[in-house]
Amino acid sequence: MRSETAVAPKIRPFEPGDLSALLAMNNAAVPAVSEATAEKLLDLINAALVCLVAERNGTAVGFLLCLSEGIEYDSPNYHWLSERYSKFAYTDRICVDESARGQKIGDAMYGALFNKMAGSGRTFLCEVNERPPNPGSLRFHNRLGFEEIGKADNGKVAVIYMQRDPKPAD
């Protein structure tokens, strides 16, 4: 019998009942992601290209929120990327519940995103905090094939912008 940690999570689209669990994960991950209210997070989810949820035993254990070009979003990171790319899939935030970290849930969510966007021609974009430092996220994104494309200092937070080329259709 495999242990729970060995069971791959189910990756599925966001469902309205997920909001409270996703909000708790998001706000537990600050400062790696920006804090959100339920209203702000739901607005982002509704504007998203895709919001993927990792579920294990009926419980949300992670989420990946991906935005596309052309939305109204008051974020210096989104604006920086929008000025440089015309067609993209921007990971605005990826969070994994603390109890499920180290179990490849982030890999599974990104794998689902890459497969869903295959053949779309969308460049995959994200940013990782340089200040405060987030070396685990930087290693994670590098391992997934993201490469640095720029940096910005937004005062309290400094970021490294990263990209991964589009995945061709299978």
pLDDT at residue number 6: 55
pLDDT in tens, 42-88: 999 999 999 999 999 999 999 999 999 999 999 999 999 999 999 99
pLDDT at residue number 168: 80
For residue 144, is it within any domain?
yes
Give the whole-angstrom CA distance, residue 55 versus residue 59.
5
pLDDT at residue number 74: 92
Which residues are bridge partners to 150 per DSSP? Answer: 161
Single out the residue of 116, 100, 102 nearest to residue 62, CA to CA. Answer: 100
pLDDT at residue number 4: 47
pTM for the model:
0.92
For residue 126, is it within any domain?
yes
Structural domain that includes position 93 = 4-164
The CATH number covering residue 124 comes to: 3.40.630.30
For residue 170, is it within any domain?
no
For residue 89, is it within any domain?
yes
For residue 133, is it within any domain?
yes
For residue 145, is it within any domain?
yes
Domains of the chain: total: 1
For residue 169, is it within any domain?
no
Type of residue found at 41: L
SS (H, E, C) the chain: CCCHHHCCCEEEECCHHHHHHHHHHHHHCCCCCCCCCHHHHHHHHHHCCEEEEEEECCEEEEEEEEECCCCCCCCHHHHHHHCCCCCEEEEEEEEECHHHCCCCHHHHHHHHHHHHCCCCCCEEEEEEEEECCCHHHHHHHHHCCCEEEEEEECCCCEEEEEEECCCCCC
Residue spans of the chain under pLDDT 50: 1-5
